[in-house]
Structure 1
Amino acid sequence: MNNIYLTIPGLYGSDGYHWQTIWENQYPHFQRVQQHNWDVPVAGEWIAQLEETVARNAHRNIYLVAHSMGCHTVAQWAAQTRQRVAGALLVAPPDVLRLERNGLVSGFARLHPRPLPFGSTVVASTNDPYATPELSQMMAQQWGSRFVSIGQAGHINSASHVGHWADGYELLQQLQDERQAQKIA
């Protein structure tokens, strides 16, 4: 079974300088989960697009690579799907309650967090303007994810100037290696 890596960007999508877009352009097995509206994320719509994309690729070994609101999309999708994925890299999940209060997103805060049914890693920055380090660590714990702090890297997006973000790609490879080791054991 061959691997596919589905990227799930956050609010406004990921521009050409974002590590997700760079990975999609550089590696043939990366594919973006497209949304109808990147500017106003509505949980039900974003979850439906993820469900459809995962279902289309169900014959493959799927890894989810989410950024920002994409992380919350993955968490809510996992709570209601019957589809299976191998694992997820969840980068810079924001304070969804704050975003909902400000009217930037809709429907993401209504579900209570629960452990993900697959291996996952949450990656956070100590100076992310959208989530405190404590909140990021709490989300990782609620999702049953490994937590990795990478120091001061902002929102770990194109404004952070991480480019290809080799360290992030290494974390994705570690997640994949852990999944393979579990299969063998």
Structure 2
Amino acid sequence: MLLFAEIALDAARFASMAPELRTEAVLLAMERGKTAAEIARAVGSTAPEIHQVASATYLFQLSTDRTMPADDAEEERPKHTGRPSGTGTAFKILDLLTEAGGNGLAASSDTLAKTLSVSERQVQRAMNRLLSENFIVRLKAPSGKSPAVWTITADGMSVRDEVAARQGR
């Protein structure tokens, strides 16, 4: 049994997961310092298979549910319009991705948190929201010490421009 964040995961549970969730579970375990061999033993696999799972990329919508749980961070609460406010973490991420251009931005949630002077949790929530709204996509999954590569979609660019125009930028 292996602990991925706060989820106990054994071989049967790992095998029953959707492929994209297996990849996320493996990447999370690796971020927590687990080696491919340790993960493989815990889930009844081999290290090369774990490396293959970790390097897989998927383009999918996380959720059609547009709501987020209430949290202490006011800027992260969903607005009635469903659009980033222009002062929140989501808008700042869209701004960074706009500056990065078409090749995308290679960044981990920790790096983004430090860049934006917010908590890593705020970045993760904002990224999940932006992904679910199809405002951003992950071009490349994190691999080893290489961070994920993110880019803004046409919808994301439109929202970013709309919010920037409201602010007079």
Higher relative strand content:
1
Higher relative helix content:
2
- For the pair shown, which has the larger CA radius of gyration, 1 or 2? 2
Q: TM-score range by the shorter chain?
A: under 0.3
* TM-score, structure 1 as length reference: 0.24
* TM-score, structure 2 as length reference: 0.26
